[in-house]
Amino acid sequence: MAFPDLGAILKGMSVTLREMLTPPVTIEYPKVKKPVAARFRGRHELKRHDNGLEKCIGCSLCAAACPTDAIYVEPAEQTDAARYSPGERYAKRYEINLLRCIYCGFCEEACPTGAIVLEHQYELSYYDRRSAIITKEGLLVQPPAPELNTPRALRDPGNLYSAIPPIKGGVEE
Amino acid sequence: MPQVTIDNKKVEVPNGTLIVEAAKKVGVEIPVFCYHPKLQPVGMCRMCLVEVGTPKRGKDGQIELDANGAPAIAWMPKLQTACTTVVSDGMTVRTDTAQVADARRAIVEFLLTSHPLDCPICDKGGECPLQNLTMAYGPGQSRFPVESKFHNAKRVPLGDLIMLDRERCIQCSRCVRFQDEIADDHVLGFAARGRGLEIVTLSDPPFDSKFSGNTIDICPVGALTSRDFRLSARVWEVRDYPSVCAHCSVGCNILIGERDHAIKRIVPRENASVNEIWTCDKGRFVHHFTVAPDRLTTPLVRKNGNLEPATWNEALDLVASRFKEIKWHDPNAIGGLAGDRASNEDLYLFQKLFRQVIGSNNLDHRVGWSVTNTGADSVRVYGAGVGTNLGALDQNVTALVFGADPEEEQPVIRLRLKRSARTFGANLIVANGRVTKLAKYAKQSLVYQYGAEAYFLLGLIRAILDERLENRDFIATRVQNFDAFATSLEPYTVERCAEICHVKPEKIRDAARQIAQSPNFLILYGREAMFAQQNDVAVARALAALLLITGHLGRANNGLVALYPHNNSTGAIDFGVLPDGGVGRTRVERRGLSAREMLGRSNERPSMRALYVMACDPAADGNFVKPEFLVVQDLFLTETARLADVVLPAQSFAERDGTFTNTERRAQLFRAALKPIGEAKPDWWIIAEIAKRLVSGLQFQVSGSQVSGNLKPETWNYATASAVMDEIAATVSLYKGMTYAALAENVKLPRPRSGQGNPSEQPTEIAMGELENISSGKVWASVAESDARAKFELVWSEPSRPLTADSRPLTLAVARSLYDGGTLVSKTQIVQARVPAPFVEINSQDAEQLGIADGARVRVSFDMRVIELDARVDGHVPPDAVLIPNNLDGTAALPMGARVKIEKV
Ligand code: SF4
Ligand code: SF4
Ligand code: SF4
Ligand code: SF4
Ligand code: FES
């Protein structure tokens, strides 16, 4: 009968003791949340300009770029009496099926106005499939001030020309 | 034929070919903006610049050779526009050099200096030649600062249908040239010059043309957009389904653009034999009825006096059991009225149900004031030869357009006849009781007196015989009864006829000479001539005689074309929805009752116990008495449907497959684009279901005796519309072989768009009509064509009016306007402004006599009816006639040819 290898036991115990004293890497998730990386791709948001107008102009380029066909846009014509966004077109309906989305960020890249941005919200679970379809109300961020909400009457013909914000010096290098 | 070398590829092309067209032949693409193959070249955009050289010639005129022994080329010092330069023999063209690439890049950059590039919100984005050519030939970058872009008005309505974006316009003038050259409505123009150059509309109301929508298609940028489609979807999101316009008898080929189960837009589909690449605005914009909220969505059954929703089984069982019961007493107490808007499949089965299951010949499609549809036999025998293209008649063709107003009733035929006359030099003779728009293109425009049509035609025949211009060989071998005919014609001298029909004898003689001496002769007769034929059989006989004595039949560009009012009038006649005509334009032995006879007059007891009314609205014309049992099958709760016992919801043409046969006898296939509205079913399905129920009951009744083939329910099992057409193609000789597969041949499918398919296989400039001339659909052959030895009989009939010139009281002429107060038009908001206010047109002579000024309110009385209208005084109607457009506010079901009294209010 051989003696137990005391050296090995001590070595093992030392790992155990050391780990007992180091702080844990896991977190108590629902109570504690870890910040995500700046470029994390979570649930989308539809952004607004500083004046509260929606950046989205309803051009459907995000939907065209989406590899999973997760985005549905129904555009419509707007008037100055009820303005949503600069230009003549706005998104009357904007829906994303979050079950289909693979969070690739192509929509973000295709958007000519920077309206759709994959933000940091990652808590995405649903009791049924329907509620996985997020509509424009859910996607649109709050206006900077309540009176800057859309739609609102706006007499600014300049808005017709600025649907797509100009990129300095013509096309991007 | 000159031979040219383009990028080292040799090609021989006809004299007068432009370099762009020659280049297409060898597969070299020359980018263009202002050039369009259907329009005259103008060389405005300079996008098509290429290097051009011609063989160098020495002093002696001989072609000089270079060191290799090939002809030396003298290159032109500057680039030339390929769209205006005509090829010459030995010409050499280079499109692949750095100089050409530079020029293209510069032109694109230059165009973009004042272009907003708002492609993401532009309706053209995705099918925009400017976008495509910029990607293919433009610079990646502009040297002009974006802030210095020129801005201009962005939302300028050009009328109710079209929106102009002045910033996007590249001043190519395609729209102006389309209006001037193709539509011949000179309503667009350029104003100012230089940077201030703008498209303006010159007409009031703005952009007053029935073809304005076509400028949207040919505008190479998003400057002209449809106010209907505008900003409602991106072009790559709408799915295109090949279809056929269901509004008039031209049968323009269209693509229905569907998204979210609604029609977003309709664009023309190319068919060189029908509509080239155009449609009229009605075809393009009047589609909202397909998804109108008041469409019928479930069957309705009358319970306790009210129409209440029911299931299909309930409704169909009720119809079948009532039909069965009435049939038991007397099959001839059941009548069927089917509108000529229904498809061939529907009409065929409708007729089959009546003739083979119910056993009644009481069938008609001529419901409603405008549907006279005469001349079924003449068209069967003398119909214009297969291969006749109304848009390409040349100087060897004389066409008599008789009693028709294509501008309002078959707009695209007006467009095509204009092209034939102006571009190819066809000789049009336009004869009507009034001056129509088509008269402008006629070598001769003749205005006869309404009611004296027969005399006008007899005058023409007599003039031909007087000058011995008849085709004696043809008469000797193929025509019977010529001598008797000539004898009967004896008292009808040209002078007498001229006096009665109010056309000068010299003019009749002149027209007769042209008709007889022309190598080819076509007669197109329209609705007004059909009314005349209905009142006077001599008119139809004289039309046939005109063709027979000149021998102009049985070949392309010869014979008779009937211009019918509706999209499938021809089909309704072909499939025997007539009391006396059977399937395939045969005759039935035992004539049934016509619509007029079935409907009877008000206050009379209806002669039918049961009526099956499909796709028409007899009650709208008034005087309708409900029979004991009334079944109505329609899209809407029409006036007739309101009275019905059972209402069956049918599908519109956009929800189902089917075929229509157009006015030139061309059967064309249309495909379903939308999902059905509610529980609506296709007409053919409903008819077959009723038949199956009737038949299964009848089998018991005749049990023991032989059950005939058509009384077996299995013979009514059609899974699809194409199964019905298969049966037609197999059993109806006129439609032999016209299965869906055959009708789908050559159908030009949707234009490829950016983002669809393989980009490397797509042409960068996709303008319709550029690539090839496509023709689809099938025309059945008339007797004169299919039987080269057929004999024809000249039949004389006395004109119903006596041979004396009397001064007639005022006669009512009824016109139709393209946009009227009909159900389908009323569902499209944006065309409402184009529906004219009702008016009555009076000749200035009559107006003076009656003391009526232009614009005055007058009271018009006829046939125990009195209506009040505004008077228009001008020269379109001859003396003794007054003209009222039908089916506007308060002018429904006017009796053509009635005597009228007019007085000032
Ligand atoms: S992130 Fe990717 S998959 Fe998700 S919506 Fe955007 S494009 Fe589509
Ligand atoms: S016209 Fe063409 S290039 Fe111009 S904004 Fe529209 S899509 Fe873009
Ligand atoms: S509106 Fe369109 S078709 Fe007309 S000139 Fe401008 S770019 Fe050309
Ligand atoms: S001409 Fe007739 S068939 Fe053609 S689009 Fe117009 S209504 Fe339709
Ligand atoms: S100049 Fe040739 S296409 Fe415009």
Say what angle helices B98-113 and B129-137 make with each other, to 10 degrees.
140
Size of interface A-B (CB pairs under 8 A): 66
- The answer to whether domain A44-161 has CATH 1.10.3660.10 is no
The pLDDT of residue B101 is above 80: yes
Smallest Cα distance from A124 to chain B, Å:
28
The pLDDT of residue A167 is above 70: no
Smallest Cα distance from B167 to chain A, Å:
10
- Asked if B538 and B501 count as a contact pair (C-beta separation under 8 A), the reply is no
Lowest model confidence (mean pLDDT) among B51-55, B218-222, B241-245, B448-452: B448-452
Mean pLDDT of chain B: 90
Percent of chain B whose pLDDT exceeds 70: 94
Q: How far is B718 from B688, CA to CA, in rounded Å?
A: 8
**Partner residue facing B140 (CB), from A112, A113, A171:** A171
- What is the side-by-side strand order in the sheet with B156-158? B156-158, B162-164, B224-226
Nearest CA to B156 out of B191, B114, B112 is that of B191
What value does the mean pLDDT take over residues B140-156?
Answer: 82
Q: How far is B241 from B231, CA to CA, in rounded Å?
A: 20
B606 Cβ inside 6 Å of ligand 4: no
Q: Which two tokens stand for residue B653?
A: 């043409």
CB contact under 8 A, B143 and A163: no
CA of B421 to the centre of ligand 3 (A): 27
B448 three-state secondary structure: coil
The pLDDT of residue B372 is above 90: no
CB contact under 8 A, B116 and A161: yes
Query: Letter for the amino acid at B101?
Result: A
Which residues on chain A are in Cβ contact (under 8 Å) with B233? Answer: 60, 74-75
CB contact under 8 A, B121 and A166: no
End-to-end CA separation in angstroms for chain B = 70
DSSP state of B384: P
Q: Which two tokens stand for residue B430?
A: 């336009």
| Nearest-atom index, ligand 2, CA of B119 | 8
- pLDDT confidence bin for B567, thresholds 50/70/90: very high
Q: Which residue has the tokens 């492609």?
A: B119
Which residues on chain A are in Cβ contact (under 8 Å) with B142? Answer: 170-171
Q: What is the 3-state secondary structure (H, E, C) of B251-295?
A: CCEEEEEEECCEEEEEEECCECCCCECCCCHHHHHCCHHHHCCCE
State the best of B119, B167, B231, B258 to mutate against chain A, taking most chain A CBs within 10 Å: B231
B122 Cβ inside 6 Å of ligand 2: yes
- pLDDT confidence bin for B758, thresholds 50/70/90: very low
- According to the model, what pLDDT value does residue B666 have? 96
Tell me the sheet residues that pair with B633: B614, B648
- According to the model, what pLDDT value does residue B800 have? 85
Q: How far is B343 from B687, CA to CA, in rounded Å?
A: 13
Percent of chain B whose pLDDT exceeds 90: 71
Which residues on chain B are in Cβ contact (under 8 Å) with A64? Answer: 234, 236, 755
- According to the model, what pLDDT value does residue B718 have? 95
CA of B103 to the centre of ligand 3 (A): 22
pLDDT tens track for B787-839: 888 999 999 999 987 766 666 678 888 888 899 888 899 999 999 999 988 99
Smallest Cα distance from A101 to chain B, Å:
19
What value does the mean pLDDT take over residues B695-711?
Answer: 58
**Partner residue facing B120 (CB), from A57, A160, A167:** A57
Total-model pTM: 0.93
CB contact under 8 A, A61 and B233: no
| Nearest-atom index, ligand 5, CA of B45 | 4
Higher per-residue pLDDT: B862 or B688: B688
Q: Which two tokens stand for residue A23?
A: 């702080």
| Nearest-atom index, ligand 5, CA of B46 | 1
Specify which of B71-75, B243-247, B369-373 reaches the highest per-range mean pLDDT.
B243-247
The pLDDT of residue B399 is above 70: yes
Which domains occur in chain B, in start order? 3-108 (3.10.20.740), 118-127+144-291 (3.30.70.20), 300-373+569-650+682-731 (3.40.50.740), 376-562 (3.40.228.10), 811-904 (2.40.40.20)
Q: How many CA atoms lie within 13 A of B365 on its CB side?
A: 33
The pLDDT of residue B772 is above 60: no
- Asked if B422 and B457 count as a contact pair (C-beta separation under 8 A), the reply is no
The pLDDT of residue B762 is above 70: no
| Nearest-atom index, ligand 4, CA of B662 | 3
Mean pLDDT of chain A: 90
- According to the model, what pLDDT value does residue B892 have? 79
Taking CA atoms only, the protein residue closest to ligand 1 atom 4 is A101
The pLDDT of residue B755 is above 70: no
A82 Cβ inside 6 Å of ligand 1: no
Residues of chain A with a CB closer than 8 angstroms to some CB in chain B: 57-61, 63-64, 74-77, 87-89, 112-113, 160-161, 163-164, 166-171
B124 Cβ inside 6 Å of ligand 2: yes
Taking CA atoms only, the protein residue closest to ligand 1 atom 6 is A107
| Closest chain B residue by Cα to residue A165 | B118
| Nearest-atom index, ligand 2, CA of B131 | 3
- pLDDT confidence bin for B65, thresholds 50/70/90: confident
Q: What angle do CA B543, B548, B551 make, to 5 degrees?
A: 130
Question: Cβ–Cβ contacts within 10 Å for residue B696, how many?
Answer: 14
pLDDT tens track for B576-624: 999 999 999 999 989 999 998 898 765 566 678 999 999 999 998 877 8
pLDDT tens track for A93-151: 999 999 999 999 999 999 999 999 999 999 999 999 999 999 999 999 999 999 999 99
CA of B567 to the centre of ligand 4 (A): 9
- According to the model, what pLDDT value does residue B736 have? 95
CB contact under 8 A, A64 and B236: yes
Higher per-residue pLDDT: B325 or B769: B325
Q: What is the 3-state secondary structure (H, E, C) of B130-181?
A: HHHHHHHHCCCCCCCCHHHCCCCCCCEEECCCEEECCCCCCCCCHHHHHHHH
Ligand 2 pocket check: which of B132, B168, B765 to mutate, most ligand atoms within 8 Å of Cβ?
Answer: B168
B277 Cβ inside 6 Å of ligand 4: no
